[in-house]
Structure 1
Amino acid sequence: MPDARDFLIVMSSLPDPTTAREIADDLVRTGLVACAQVITGVHSVFQWAGKQEHADECLLLMKTTSKRYRELEVRIKALHPYELPEILAVPLVAGLDNYLSWMEKNTDIH
Structure 2
Amino acid sequence: MERPLLVYTTFPDADVALVVGEALVRLRLAACVNVLPGMRSVYAWKGAVERADEVVALIKSRESLAEPLAAALKARHPYETPIVLHLPVAGADPDTAAWIAAETGGDQAPFSG
1:99 and 1:47 map into 2 onto residues whose CA distance is 36
3-state SS, counterpart of residue 95 of structure 1: coil
CA deviations over 1:42-72 (Å, ceiling 9, x no partner):
1111001111111100111001011111110
Aligned to 1:17: 14
Unaligned runs of 5+ in 1: none
Unaligned runs of 5+ in 2: none
Aligned to 2:74: 77
Q: Considering only aligned residues, what root-mean-square deviation do their CA atoms show, in Å?
A: 0.9
- TM-score between both structures, scaled by the size of structure 2: 0.91
- The aligned length equals 107
- TM-score between both structures, scaled by the size of structure 1: 0.93
Is 1:60 aligned to residue 57 of structure 2?
yes
User: Which residue identity lines up with residue 52 of structure 2 in the other structure?
Assistant: A
Aligned to 1:98: 95
Aligned to 1:34: 31
1:92 and 1:55 map into 2 onto residues whose CA distance is 29
1:88 and 1:44 map into 2 onto residues whose CA distance is 16
Query: Offset of 1:14 from its aligned partner?
Result: 0.3
User: Which residue identity lines up with residue 17 of structure 2 in the other structure?
Assistant: A
Query: Offset of 1:75 from its aligned partner?
Result: 0.4
